[in-house]
Structure formats: structure tokens, C-alpha cells
Amino acid sequence: MVLLSVVPRSVEAAPAPSTPAIPAVPPELAPWIEWVKEFELPPGECRDVEDTTICVWPTRLALGVGKTGGSFELDVTAYDAQNVLLPGDDSRWPQDIRIDGKPAVVVDEDGVPSVRLTVGRHRVSGVFQWSEMPDSLAVPPEIALVELKRDGKPVAFPARQDDVLRLLDDDEVAESEEAAEEEEETKDGPEVEDALRVEVSRWIRDGVPLTITTRVDLRVSGKPRELTLPYPLWDDAELLRVDSPLPLQFGAGRSLVVQARSGSYTITIESALPRQRATLGPPQRRAPQMSD
């Protein structure tokens, strides 16, 4: 018996296909590398800007506003214990300020709210309360990125200038200012002078009995008040019907007492003469009286 042993040849592993190295930065941006490095902030270091040492760097502000209030979240990196300015001012002071979910103390820095941060990355949150959405809100210029939502809908390009963020567009601001002016005029505008104009006309219809339609036209301006007018009928005429848009009654001396307000009104009175008058003429005229 012959035993044959087969010794396999060593098989060399095929070399892995070479893949071109992917540059970390596209060639178009390579010339900017050194320029960007100048603005890098190494961990644990601060930067002197215009004789001021800055160690706190706010990045993203997410702000949501509505008709009755708003809320915000601010991402901040602190390389040393320092204060960071928050959105808002004396007129719109933020409430319920929290740092990483924990209540924080708000400090007033020349009318701008701020909180003290420790070293590290933090998220500062708070809320605003108002009875009507303002047209703008103070936002510190140090905050680089602002994301605005109004009534739950994102605003693509929030209008921002220096430390002011516009919450309403120009048309909405104009409508708001017009409504405020109308309200101010109604509230604090000049008082309208109390004035009254009375015109009386009659339509006499022949017949048995003889009927008379008396029309009293009132033009009233000023505050609501009670008017006392002379009796509009002849003394011996019998009252049949009164149509009036204003509350009225017959007072002392058969005067006509009307609860009037600003506007134009017509009072119609139907009457009849029980007997034929020898001479028809207007009743004795008396000046109208006004009482508040």
C-alpha cells in the first residue's frame, strides 16, 4: 500500500483593492482651513473681545410664541463660570427660568435678564406671558441662531436687527397699531359735545274724526342721557299710538321723556281730534330740556 500525501501550496491572500483616500475637506474649501482654525475655541479657554473676556457662547435659540405667551430654549456652552443674557427685557420679562430642567435665579443686568452658568454645556428654558402678542421681542445679539415658531408654525426667515426680533410682519404690525389707535381714541379721545336737534312735522288727514300723524326727528350726539321734550300734540287731541326706537314715557306736564343715546331717531305719534277745530295751528312751542 502506497500512501500519498498531498501538501497544499500556500495560498497568498489577495491584496485588498486600494481605495482612494477621501479628503476630510473638499479641495474647494481647503484654502479656508487656516482661517477657520483662527476662530476655533479650544476647550477650557476663553476669548478676549474688545477688552472683554467671553467664556460663555450661546448657540441656538428655539422660540415659540402665541397670542397669550411664549416659551424658549437656549443652548449654551460655558468654558468658565459666567452669566449668559436671555431673551426679554423690562417690558417682557421671562418667567420660570430653568437650567437643564432645574429652577434658576434670574439676574437683572441693566434691564436684561441673565443667569449664572457653570462650566459645560447647558440648556436654559423659560416662558413669557402676555395678553396680546407683541410685535417684537428683545434677543441678545450674542445668540447666533434663532428658530422662531408662531402659533406652532415655523417662520422661515425671522426678521432680526441687532437685539430686536420681529414677531409680526409689517401688515400685522400695521393692523395692530390701527386697532390700538382706535381703542385709544375711544378710551382717551376728546369728549363729543352733547348736542340735540329736534324737527317736528305733521300730516293732517281730513275725516271724522280728523287724524294727525306727528313725526319727531331727533339727532343726538354726546353721552347717553335723558331728554325731556315738550308735549308734541294739541291739547285736545286724543293719543292713539306711539312708535319709537328709544324708550320713552310721558312725564310731568305731559312732557315727552326719552332715554336717548348718540344717533338719529324718528318717533311717530298717531292722534285724533274728537271735534272739528275752528283754527288749526301748532301747539305752543317750548324749548327742549336735557337732563343727565
pLDDT tens for 98-144 read: 999 999 999 988 889 999 999 889 999 999 999 888 888 999 988 88
Is 6 domain-assigned?
Answer: no
Is 206 domain-assigned?
Answer: yes
| pLDDT value at residue 292 | 46
Contact between 72 and 129 (Cβ < 8 Å): no
What is the extent of the structural domain holding 205?
A: 195-275+286-291
Residue 69: C-alpha distances to residues 61, 65, 112, 128, 165 (Å): 17, 6, 19, 5, 15
Q: 166 and 208 in one domain?
A: no
Phi, psi of 30 (to 5 degrees): -55, -40
Q: 109 and 227 in one domain?
A: no
Q: 161 and 61 in one domain?
A: yes
Q: How far apart are CA 235 and CA 275, in angstroms?
A: 12
Of the pLDDT bands very low, low, confident and very high (cuts 50, 70, 90), residue 44 is low
Contact between 219 and 245 (Cβ < 8 Å): no
Phi, psi of 276 (to 5 degrees): -70, 130
User: Which of 155, 179, 203 is the last residue before a domain boundary?
Assistant: 179
Q: 207 and 108 in one domain?
A: no
Looking only at the bridges linking them, the beta strands covering 256-260 and 248-250 are: antiparallel
Closest to 113 measured CA to CA, from 137, 80, 77, 135? 137
Q: 164 and 57 in one domain?
A: yes
Report pTM.
0.47
pLDDT-wise least confident of 39-43, 56-60, 154-158: 39-43
Q: How many Cβ atoms are within 10 Å of 70's Cβ, its own excluded? A: 25
Would you state the cell numbers that stand for residue 75, as one nine-digit string? 443652548
Is 14 domain-assigned?
Answer: no
**Residue 259 DSSP code:** E
Contact between 264 and 218 (Cβ < 8 Å): yes
Of the pLDDT bands very low, low, confident and very high (cuts 50, 70, 90), residue 286 is low
Q: 93 and 62 in one domain?
A: yes
CATH number at residue 90: 2.60.40
Q: How far apart are CA 224 and CA 226, in angstroms?
A: 7
**Residue 61 DSSP code:** E
Q: 67 and 154 in one domain?
A: yes
Q: 147 and 113 in one domain?
A: yes
**% pLDDT > 90, the chain:** 20
pLDDT top residue among 26 and 58: 58
Judged against a pLDDT cut of 70, whether residue 186 lies above it is answered with no
Q: 139 and 87 in one domain?
A: yes
Find the radius of gyration of the CA atoms of the chain.
Answer: 43
**Per-residue pLDDT averaged across 196-216, rounded?**
86
* Unique residue bearing C-alpha cell 472683554: 52
Q: 199 and 174 in one domain?
A: no
Domain count, the chain: 2
CA 201 to chain centre: 50
Question: What residues are paired with 85 via a beta bridge?
Answer: 114
User: Which of 135, 155, 179 is the last residue before a domain boundary?
Assistant: 179
Of the pLDDT bands very low, low, confident and very high (cuts 50, 70, 90), residue 188 is low
Q: 140 and 86 in one domain?
A: yes
Is 39 domain-assigned?
Answer: no
CATH number at residue 243: 2.60.40.1170
- What's the full length of the chain, in residues? 292
Is 28 domain-assigned?
Answer: no
| pLDDT value at residue 113 | 93
Is 48 domain-assigned?
Answer: no
Would you state the cell numbers that stand for residue 18, as one nine-digit string? 486600494
Closest to 150 measured CA to CA, from 61, 75, 70, 74? 70
Is 16 domain-assigned?
Answer: no
Kindly provide the residue ranges of all beta strands, DSSP E only, lying in 100-189, ordered along the sequence: 102-103, 107-109, 112-117, 120-129, 136-138, 145-150, 153-155, 160-161, 164-166
| pLDDT value at residue 142 | 86
User: Which of 144, 179, 214 is the last residue before a domain boundary?
Assistant: 179
Q: How far apart are CA 198 and CA 229, in angstroms?
A: 9
Phi, psi of 120 (to 5 degrees): 135, -175
Q: 137 and 232 in one domain?
A: no
Is 95 domain-assigned?
Answer: yes
